[in-house]
A and B are shown apart, each in its own frame.
Chain A
């Protein structure tokens, strides 16, 4: 039951409107900038953003019945011959990735209306990035994957640099050098595969490889590992994550939300398309799954040691992507035609999706709080809740958002993080990954207890800090708070205007409320969503789930008791971490200086380990 070759206009055009609408929006933004002035230009830009970010929902709604009934829209772009042309594949997975991307991008854009950055360059680049996400989700051609990843990359380098902090230029530069170099390795891998198979489409490559004696032998293994390592660099898993903390911590908050929420996951799921069908794909996925488990635990320890609030969140992104990669790798290892593989992949996607929601919310709420308070130091900043109140937030939306998101990431019922972590650990029960991921969850709880201290009221100590640190713009008096909505130190430039901040509160509040509601709602509807995702993902493998499978039971005594133990252990870990010995140990972890070359050394090591692994199996 698949659409192949020629098909009617509607499915294909609606699928491509997911890519074309944001691009059209970008073109409109540029036209507005070139031809119009003042209010007209601003109005047109606003319309273009609406078209580009919310128009695709119509296409998603339209294509939903197709993917729901298990059909795949596939073919060759432009109806050219498949020998040279670009094949694409729009199935349940692509639908889900698009839904994820447009949810987070929409919320982040609404936030950026209030807190910046604004302007035509930001808007067009943001739209282009979203379009590239949609294109990445459905490509089934390896060179097209390269182009999509490059578009994603170049857009994110510019967006990271757009926060205008000097550190952000360095972060953007390091990110650019590492990811552009790894893309050259990707090309080298592509060279190897093309030389072996003479084909660029995934299906052509896998068929040709299977027909070769020894399935391509060493060259196939090495080429595949070059490609996988380059994509893994984008995903920021275990040895390759060095670029991420700076880039995500120094980007504007709205951009951080999209980078952590969507940008590091899309390449991973796009990669699963090719890994599923090439020989050695399962073996590579197995190793990546192990690396994912290691990522989850290592990154959470580093996160616990951080003092910059946003950098702490960035390390948590790495840790959470470790969960996703762990489940994803195990799923691909088992194969998507097995029941267990389907369940694991569902758990991986759900965690990616929920993580996008709560991490986006965390970046936005922490960004708002630290901007208003004028400091990002977790150890010294206190009383952020009262600062928020003084800055004119009558409903404590930001505080509530933070609480919801922090509970979600710590996997407290009934929020969404609980459901997806239960789903992942349920499927992995009995393996060593299960214990590693549980330990990582304890670390997550501890570090969010630590982060939440910035909201605790301690007025006496604050004054002390303010005098101790004259450089920090930090005086929680009503007068300063009112105009220091976005202090010059944090966001230099034109947005320190009082009126701008007052207007700013509305979109900032709306976007946070949207994401917070989404976190709660998806937590409550978790069993239903599980069945939904399971069925959509199944369209690729056709196991035939007809009724909605609610997944593992959530609120069993076992699970709740385990959560309770983990929270207690988290408290203990938190106390240890802030004790004298603990903080000295953690500062060793934090201050460990890895130079620029360290990024490449870890890439080289990761690449060669993957190569050896694939050559040995």
Chain B
């Protein structure tokens, strides 16, 4: 088969593929069935009373469907450790050893030529870093009232950490941007999350139930706690990944 014929065959296969998928998806994407009201009506009527969170998305995310959120943080956890193991270490972390990527394998450091570290970048990010961190904590803690939540707050915190790391001098690093501490925060937050999730079992309110329901703690307190833990975990995890990719995973 000549190169040209092969090319045409290839294109024909692609076209067939896309056409078939389009034919299947058109009725789904273009459907004009009325959107169901049952869940919205139920939540608008009872959501605040049942969960205590006026942000209904948070109420679902960490209340009604908190188990999904646990799954999601686990996906993030696996993705972070997998990505770091694959990139920074060429997979050697997977095969053996404890501790963190050692300096020799941190190739990506060289992809960031020194000239990109301008004075401007260092000053701006160094000064903005703490502000971003504070904002992240705000987003994290007020997720039950306003748009935001643990995950979103955690991502902002992670960018704050990256700002701090970019802002500091090449070799200087403070305790917040040091990978060891970030890994510690992340693993401790993960353990805390699991404990919080199963604490309801011990107190009798069931798996992922509000553990202190009997003692007068409203569900919203539990949601805030989960928000804080998830924020810490996501912030530390993503921050660690970014710093490892910056080549500071020492």
Instruction: Establish whether A and B are touching in the complex (CB under 8 Å).
Output: yes
Chain B positions 84 through 96: 1 when the CB is less than 8 Å from some CB of chain A, otherwise 0: 0110001111111
Docked Cα-Cα span, A433 to B222, in Å, equals 55
Q: Which of A191-199, A357-365, A454-462, A552-560 has 4 or more CB atoms under 8 Å from chain B?
A: A191-199
**Is A188 engaged at the interface, CB distance under 8 Å to the other chain?**
yes
**Is B38 engaged at the interface, CB distance under 8 Å to the other chain?**
yes
**Are A31 and B188 in contact (CB-based, < 8 A)?**
yes
**Are B184 and A34 in contact (CB-based, < 8 A)?**
yes
**Are B95 and A80 in contact (CB-based, < 8 A)?**
no
Q: Find B31's partner among A28, A116, A195, A493 (CB 8 Å cutoff).
A: A195
A150 and B36 contact, Cβ closer than 8 Å, known pairs A188-B25, A226-B28: no
**Are A85 and B94 in contact (CB-based, < 8 A)?**
no
* Chain A residues closer than 8 Å to B198, beta-carbon distance: 13, 16-17, 20
**Is B64 engaged at the interface, CB distance under 8 Å to the other chain?**
yes
Closest Cβ neighbor of A608 among chain B residues: B20
**Are A118 and B95 in contact (CB-based, < 8 A)?**
yes
**Are B183 and A33 in contact (CB-based, < 8 A)?**
yes
**Is B78 engaged at the interface, CB distance under 8 Å to the other chain?**
yes
Secondary structure at the A interface, as helix, strand, loop or mixed, is helix
**Is A579 engaged at the interface, CB distance under 8 Å to the other chain?**
no
**Is A564 engaged at the interface, CB distance under 8 Å to the other chain?**
no
A162 and B94 contact, Cβ closer than 8 Å, known pairs A34-B187, A121-B82: yes
**Is A2 engaged at the interface, CB distance under 8 Å to the other chain?**
no
Docked Cα-Cα span, A164 to B28, in Å, equals 41
* Chain A residues closer than 8 Å to B183, beta-carbon distance: 30, 33-34
* Chain A residues closer than 8 Å to B68, beta-carbon distance: 86, 143-144, 147
A148 and B190 contact, Cβ closer than 8 Å, known pairs A84-B64, A124-B81: no
Q: Find A116's partner among B63, B75, B95, B208 (CB 8 Å cutoff).
A: B95
* Chain A residues closer than 8 Å to B191, beta-carbon distance: 24, 27-28, 30-31
Closest Cβ neighbor of A500 among chain B residues: B96
Q: Find A601's partner among B17, B23, B205 (CB 8 Å cutoff).
A: B17
Q: Which of A215-223, A259-267, A272-280 has 4 or more CB atoms under 8 Å from chain B?
A: A215-223
A144 and B28 contact, Cβ closer than 8 Å, known pairs A41-B98, A117-B95: no
* Chain A residues closer than 8 Å to B63, beta-carbon distance: 78, 80
Docked Cα-Cα span, A150 to B66, in Å, equals 16
* Chain B residues closer than 8 Å to A601, beta-carbon distance: 13, 16-17
* Chain A residues closer than 8 Å to B75, beta-carbon distance: 147, 150-151, 154
Docked Cα-Cα span, A569 to B72, in Å, equals 51
* Chain B residues closer than 8 Å to A75, beta-carbon distance: 206
**Are A226 and B65 in contact (CB-based, < 8 A)?**
no
What total of chain A residues lie within 8 Å of the partner, measured CB to CB?
A: 87
**Are B78 and A493 in contact (CB-based, < 8 A)?**
no
Would you give the shortest CB distance from A98 to chain B, in whole angstroms? 16
**Is B120 engaged at the interface, CB distance under 8 Å to the other chain?**
no
Would you give the shortest CB distance from B194 to chain A, in whole angstroms? 5
**Are A79 and B81 in contact (CB-based, < 8 A)?**
no
**Is B103 engaged at the interface, CB distance under 8 Å to the other chain?**
no
Q: Find A13's partner among B13, B71, B188, B201 (CB 8 Å cutoff).
A: B201
**Are B27 and A222 in contact (CB-based, < 8 A)?**
yes
* Chain A residues closer than 8 Å to B16, beta-carbon distance: 601, 604
Docked Cα-Cα span, A148 to B78, in Å, equals 13
Q: Which of B42-50, B136-144, B162-170 has 4 or more CB atoms under 8 Å from chain A?
A: B42-50
**Are B60 and A37 in contact (CB-based, < 8 A)?**
no
A219 and B28 contact, Cβ closer than 8 Å, known pairs A13-B201, A198-B37, A601-B17: yes
Docked Cα-Cα span, A240 to B33, in Å, equals 31
A23 and B204 contact, Cβ closer than 8 Å, known pairs A80-B63, A162-B94, A494-B95: no
* Chain B residues closer than 8 Å to A35, beta-carbon distance: 184, 187
Within 8 A of B (CB), among A310-350: none
**Are B187 and A27 in contact (CB-based, < 8 A)?**
yes
Listed residue (B63, B91, B186, B190) with the most chain A CB atoms within 10 angstroms of its CB = B91
**Are A144 and B94 in contact (CB-based, < 8 A)?**
no
**Is B135 engaged at the interface, CB distance under 8 Å to the other chain?**
no
What total of chain B residues lie within 8 Å of the partner, measured CB to CB?
A: 73
A222 and B95 contact, Cβ closer than 8 Å, known pairs A79-B206, A195-B33, A601-B13: no
**Are A77 and B78 in contact (CB-based, < 8 A)?**
no
**Is A102 engaged at the interface, CB distance under 8 Å to the other chain?**
no
Docked Cα-Cα span, A611 to B28, in Å, equals 12
**Is B39 engaged at the interface, CB distance under 8 Å to the other chain?**
yes
A164 and B200 contact, Cβ closer than 8 Å, known pairs A79-B205, A81-B50, A125-B81: no
Within 8 A of A (CB), among B42-62: 42-43, 46, 50, 60
**Are B94 and A30 in contact (CB-based, < 8 A)?**
no
* Chain B residues closer than 8 Å to A598, beta-carbon distance: 13
Docked Cα-Cα span, A136 to B223, in Å, equals 25
Chain B positions 174 through 200: 1 when the CB is less than 8 Å from some CB of chain A, otherwise 0: 000000100110111011001001101
* Chain A residues closer than 8 Å to B82, beta-carbon distance: 121, 125, 154, 157-158, 161
**Are B71 and A147 in contact (CB-based, < 8 A)?**
yes
Docked Cα-Cα span, A28 to B191, in Å, equals 7
Docked Cα-Cα span, A234 to B29, in Å, equals 24
Would you give the shortest CB distance from A489 to chain B, in whole angstroms? 15
Docked Cα-Cα span, A35 to B185, in Å, equals 10
Docked Cα-Cα span, A546 to B63, in Å, equals 41
**Is B21 engaged at the interface, CB distance under 8 Å to the other chain?**
yes
**Are A33 and B20 in contact (CB-based, < 8 A)?**
no
Would you give the shortest CB distance from A93 to chain B, in whole angstroms? 20
**Are A604 and B27 in contact (CB-based, < 8 A)?**
no
Docked Cα-Cα span, A577 to B72, in Å, equals 48
Would you give the shortest CB distance from B9 to chain A, in whole angstroms? 11
**Are B65 and A119 in contact (CB-based, < 8 A)?**
no
A191 and B28 contact, Cβ closer than 8 Å, known pairs A80-B50, A144-B68: yes
Listed residue (B10, B38, B79) with the most chain A CB atoms within 10 angstroms of its CB = B38
**Are B92 and A79 in contact (CB-based, < 8 A)?**
no
**Are B42 and A195 in contact (CB-based, < 8 A)?**
no
**Are A121 and B60 in contact (CB-based, < 8 A)?**
no
**Is A481 engaged at the interface, CB distance under 8 Å to the other chain?**
no
A-B contact pairs, 9 of them (CB 8 A): A116-B95, A121-B94, A131-B74, A161-B94, A162-B91, A189-B28, A196-B33, A495-B95, A597-B14
In the complex, besides A9-B201, A78-B63, 17 extra interface pairs with C-beta distance below 8 angstroms are: A20-B194, A20-B197, A23-B194, A34-B187, A42-B98, A77-B208, A78-B209, A83-B42, A86-B65, A143-B65, A154-B79, A155-B78, A195-B35, A196-B33, A198-B38, A597-B13, A608-B20
